[in-house]
Amino acid sequence: MKIEAIDFFYCAIPDVKNIGDGSQDALLVRVQGGGHTGWGECEAAPLVSIANWICPMSHSACRPVIDAVAGQTVEGPEDIARIHREVKALGLDIAQTDHTLSGIDIALWDWLGKRLETPVYKLLGYTESHARDPYASQLFGDSPEATFTKAEESRASGFRAVKFGWGPFGLGSAEEDIQHLEAAREGLGPEIQLLVDVGTVWLDDVSKALSRVSAMEAANIIWLEEPFIGEAHSSYLELSKAFKTVKLAGGEGASNVYAAKNLIDHGGIGFIQIDTGRVGGISAAKEVADYALTKGVQFVNHTFTTHLALSASLQAFAGHPGKLICEYPVEPSILAQSLSHNQLERDDNGLVNLPDRPGLGIDVNIETVKKYLQDVRIEVNGKLLYESPTL
């Protein structure tokens, strides 16, 4: 079946704040053909990805993503794999290419699943989808007291694992960070798993991390996430050796499959966290998930935005055995909250299950897309290359 239309929708809340909340905007991708519609979502800088979608050709390996996708025919998963190869070849010299491809790939899988009346995870070869134990993912409070309050609230919400990240953590003194760690542990009580996310603020500086090692071990955290930029492999490896009980987690910034595999191979990490909206979509995430299994590294989704992105992320490792944890956004923006009619609610046991429905099983709320749609126009030499589509 031929792709009849692909459209990019840039949505944002009116007042985007300078905080570590990636749910304040969204770049949605809609694929249409044969009366069916698939939806996907790109993480990262909507305007940059839109420019990548329609930019004029620079040379044979520096072409817009649209050149490798428009008018393609998709009958099965092998066609999505072929489109990947063509996008990669044509967009090789543009760093943003895999970011942009991510939303398209997700929408193609959703579209294909709906046409074949099959959940995406089954198209990926999994026979079943295992329930996941969600960890509440949220920002550190502005003060240790605020972190304590958030931790207490998370405990009351029944989560068995809670992650704190970003906010002031890692930016000030080790002493301040230790107070946040103690507040988080105290608010959660001794039973709940605590995860910590540094959001790469130490870049590649191992010494900054080393001064917090004993406090993190004392707070009994499960993982330390993104102490460094994902490509700073040697820093990851060095720090991993300093811990006795804590494992390193990273990979959300992986812009393609190779970046993720290289971090697994050379970074000494225990968890590889993949953002399906950034790594190249569900196809790329599945490839990383398969690779992680062979290397004894646990695959975990990175999802901080919508339940469309959450469903897409969970498909990639749906069949991995065991009651693994998954990231679960607990304080998304009003845009992310209202983007779909249905959500992946926790069941009576507090677990998250993928919908037993065709495609991703998420019904996009068109009214939300309309409400938050940004009006974008890009012209080159008087020719309109992109304008926000109407709905």
Q: Would you say 38 and 108 are in contact if contact means Cβ atoms under 8 Å apart? A: yes
Is-contact 298 270, C-beta < 8 A?
A: yes
Beta bridge partners of 201: none
- Determine the Cα–Cα distance for residues 256 and 274; give it in Å rounded to an integer: 10
For a second copy, the closer of residues 333 and 340 by Cβ is 333
Q: Taking phi first (over 0 means left), then psi (-120 to 50 degrees means alpha), and beta for anything else, what does residue 206 get?
A: alpha
Q: Answer yes or no whether residue 231 interacts with a second copy by CB under 8 A.
A: yes
> Could you tell me whether strands 133-139 and 161-165 are parallel, antiparallel, or unpaired per DSSP bridges?
parallel
Question: Rule CB under 8 A: which of 15-54 touch a second copy?
Answer: 16-22, 24-25, 43-48, 50-52, 54
Contact 240, 258 (CB under 8 A): no
CB nearer to a second copy: pick between 114 and 261: 261
- SS3 state at 68: helix
Which range of residues in 292-300, 313-321, 349-357, 381-389 is near a second copy by CB under 8 A?
381-389
User: Is 166 near a second copy (CB under 8 A)?
Assistant: yes
Question: Please, what is the minimum distance in Å from the beta carbon of residue 93 to a second copy?
Answer: 5
Question: Rounded distance, CA 114 to CA 116, Å?
Answer: 5
Can you tell me the distance from the alpha carbon of 337 to that of 343, in angstroms, rounded to the nearest whole number? 9
The Cα 274–Cα 170 span in angstroms is 22
For a second copy, which is the closer residue by CB, 305 or 340? 305
Cα 230 to Cα 279: distance, rounded to the nearest angstrom: 12
Instruction: Quote the CA–CA distance of 108 and 44 in Å, as a whole number.
Output: 19
Please report how close the Cβ of residue 40 comes to a second copy at its closest, in angstroms: 17
**Does 58 participate in binding a second copy (rule CB under 8 A)?**
yes
Residue 195's CB is within 10 A of a number of other CB atoms, namely 24
- CA 353 to chain CA centroid, nearest Å: 17
Query: Per rule CB under 8 A, is residue 379 in the interface with a second copy?
Result: yes
Contact between 198 and a second copy by CB under 8 A: the answer reads: no
Q: Please give the torsion angle defined by the CA atoms of residues 99, 102, 103 and 109, in that order, rounded to the nearest 10 degrees.
A: 170
Candidates 32, 37, 62, 365: give the one binding a second copy (CB under 8 A).
62
Q: Minimum distance from CB of 64 to a second copy (Å)?
A: 8
The residue within the footprint of a second copy, chosen from 117, 345, 348, 375 (CB under 8 A), is 375
Binding pattern to a second copy, positions 169-188, x when CB under 8 A?
A: --------------------
Spatial contact of 343 and 303, defined as CB atoms under 8 Å apart: no
What does the DSSP assignment read for 163-214?
EEESTTTTTS-HHHHHHHHHHHHHHH-SSSEEEEE-TTTTTT-HHHHHTTHH
Quick one: 32 or 262, whose CB is closer to a second copy? 262
Give the one residue of 200, 273, 311, 315 binding a second copy; rule: CB under 8 A: 200
Contacts of 34 (CB under 8 A, 6+ apart): 1, 2, 4, 115
Smallest distance, a second copy to C-beta of residue 78, A: 16
Select the residue interacting with a second copy from 116, 131, 210, 229 (CB under 8 A): 229
Which listed range, 9-17, 183-191, 239-247, 322-330, lies at the site for a second copy (CB under 8 A)? 9-17
Least distance to a second copy, CB of residue 23, Å: 8
Q: Of residues 199, 268, 270, 280, which one binds a second copy by CB under 8 A?
A: 199
Give the one residue of 134, 253, 355, 361 binding a second copy; rule: CB under 8 A.
253
Q: Does the footprint of a second copy cover residue 206 (CB under 8 A)? A: no
Rounded CA separation 200/227 (Å): 5
Tokens of 162: 């809670």
By the rule CB under 8 A, 88 interacts with a second copy: yes
Q: Does 378 bind a second copy (CB under 8 A)?
A: yes
> Which of 32, 214, 343, 374 forms a contact with a second copy (CB under 8 A)?
374
60 binds a second copy (CB under 8 A): yes
Residues that bind a second copy (CB under 8 A): 12, 16-22, 24-25, 43-48, 50-52, 54-63, 85, 88-89, 92-96, 98-99, 166, 199-201, 203-204, 229, 231-234, 253, 255-256, 258-259, 261-262, 265-266, 278, 374-382, 385
